[in-house]
Amino acid sequence: MFHLKKSSLETLWHSAPIAYAHFPPLQLSSLPENAKRYLKHAISPNTRLANAVRLKIHGEIKLKGWQPFQAEQIICYHKGMIWQAIVWMNGLPVYGWGHVIEGKGAVQWKLLGLLPVVLASGPDTTRSAVG
């Protein structure tokens, strides 16, 4: 499905350290009551906590109207995240990715995977990607 940054996705995925930490229900005391109740219900005590998650997403994104898209995202605790997508506009694929790695963000979209549509990096892009 994706061809622009697949190796970066895999590199980030495989960089996640093995999870040794376990869910500490007793350390939830500083959270709001609703959050504590939810987490205690959703996660069994002593469940091993993940250091990375891989998400596959599909739906519609608003770019001059609603367009179908598919995406994959990897979030790696303490390292960052990469989000990669393909959006179909007027029957043509637009490939894009965004990342925040070691505190620096960037975004890129290319029509047909070749012609740049959006290229951005810097502090504003980093703040947006972190948000």
- Per-residue pLDDT averaged across 62-84, rounded? 88
Q: The whole model's pTM is what?
A: 0.72
Whether the CB-CB separation of 86 and 2 falls below 8 Å is answered with yes
Res. 35: pLDDT tops 70: yes
- Per-residue pLDDT averaged across 90-107, rounded? 88
Q: How far apart are CA 60 and CA 68, in angstroms?
A: 4
Tokens 């770019």 belong to residue: 63
> In 16-114, which ranges are continuous DSSP H helix?
33-42
Whether the CB-CB separation of 83 and 99 falls below 8 Å is answered with yes
What pLDDT, on a 0 to 100 scale, did the predictor assign at position 7?
A: 75
User: Per-residue confidence at 4, pLDDT binned at 50, 70, 90?
Assistant: very low
What residue spans define the domains of the chain? 6-16+51-130, 18-50
